[in-house]
Structure 1
Amino acid sequence: MTKTPDSATKTPNTVDALLNQVAQGTEFHFQSGLCGDWTLLAREPDKAALHLITQGDCWFGFPSNQTDVQALHAGDVVFVNQGISHFLSRQPVPSEIPEQDIPQFCQLEHQQNGVVCYDIDSPSQITDTVFRLLPPWIVLNHQQQAHDMQALIRMIRTETQAGEPGSQTIVQRLSDVLAIHLLRAVLEAHQELNGPLAALQDRHLRTLVLAIIDEPGGDWSVEAMARKVFLSPSAFAERCHKQTGLAPKKLVDQLRLQRARMLLSNTNLPLELIAEQLGYQSATAFSRFFKRYANVSANHYREL
């Protein structure tokens, strides 16, 4: 008797739980009209961020490479992953504006430009790991967005301009929904994905990847992973490589690496405990693993 139907039933629920965590983890940060030669600059942000251009035009780019900038227009959405320095600016070459001076460019009655920015807080290690698997940055322009996303953007723009009682709360809720649509749009853009994130597109591999993210220190041998997805070891290995470009062991290594980066950046856990959480017998074994993939020692990475 096959158990495949049971797996098929659990898969959507697992992804739904992930998307629900994203909705509950968004944190409203800033919303206003902007005038003058303004710049919003984020240097190595400790959270992923989502920027929505509600009205007007601006430029998006990176401080380290000011020749590679993109013009953004009303309705465009930009996702930028954790740690990626970036700017939004009225000019293609941004001005250095201290954070405390931003309010002088930020007036609700100004309608030339509008930006909704919010940080994406990670309420769980699963959500944090999944976001770290996303590309460094993604621009969804208004012409490429799905109808539902465009409707949300129009509603956010209307509430931003109206400024009526309750508008901030409404924009916050709409922004939470927009974050879910963004993640779903990325997951559906199969041609843009690789590695562990691409596995979320596959009904056999999706449950496995989320299970590894949930318990990275588990016994994830090829045989154990194959049993999890109800495939033979050979069929599983072939499917894993076809969908992700990775051998099964490399898939596990990539997911453990993302968890290691999160634990090193966001906690003070000693290497021995991090090694235990990730399934390594000693801090030395974990350190060798981390140095091999990250090209830097775990202690040095923690100091960055």
Structure 2
Amino acid sequence: MSWLDRVRNGIPFLPKRQTAENLWHKCKRCGTMVFVKEWEENYSVCPRCNFHDRIGPTTRFEQLFDAAQYELLPAPEVREDPLRFRDTKRYTDRLKAARAANGERDALVNARGKLDGQKVVIGVQDFGFMGGSMGIAVGAAFVAGVRAAIADQAPYILFTAAGGARMQEGILSLMQMPRTTVALAELREAGLPYIVVLTDPTTGGVTASYAMLGDVQIAEPGALIGFAGQRVIEQTIREKLPEGFQRAEYLLEHGMIDMVVWRGDLKEKLALLVAYLSPEDRKAA
């Protein structure tokens, strides 16, 4: 070992050196550099422009459940790659890559726990898993979440984030639209509330089905919500659409959703809605 290696290895702080990548977070909207710790303490929201960054199921559950304590519901077993789909890659390879990157079986994860002392089941769609796309596994997870809520006599709260139906499953992905709608009929027959929180982005077949069927529709600030893209709509109707017409604030102004809530206030707002909507004899003891 040379004298330079001995000196370098003897400096205690070098292996623990922090870099710009783990100290700072750059806002995707305004470009502001924010300390990661400050950004995380602000619920992954830019303190300058209020841009709500996308977060996954684990972070969402920790922010909402009391003392960050919850029980994950097992992902339903479904047939994978029923069409044996292949584009530039095999569909099975894309699934393996998404699972390795996210650590989840598919794009919708459910958990049960308590929200301000009240029993709830919460589902979170992860845009990081193949764009949160809706396929057979997402439909099965949605049904499982609804039935877990019925078994617990608790509300079902869903956070949506999706680019639409999963093209690799063709018509089978579109069949999840009526399937989830029927599951919601079971939830309503049981007299339990269904609350939807629309996050960025919620589009396509998800918007055309369970994302817009909540008893209460909430959205995070600035969330993109729509069916088709703005350019596609403009080319179809041959008219220029107003700026931001698919953003949460525009939808609130035009009566499509009930409220836009900053992420830091979501837990308090959801707890209030659960207390108000849940029948007295079914609230947590």
For normalisation by structure 2, the TM-score amounts to: 0.28
Higher relative contact order (CA 8 A, sep 6+): 1
Q: Which has the higher helix share?
A: 1
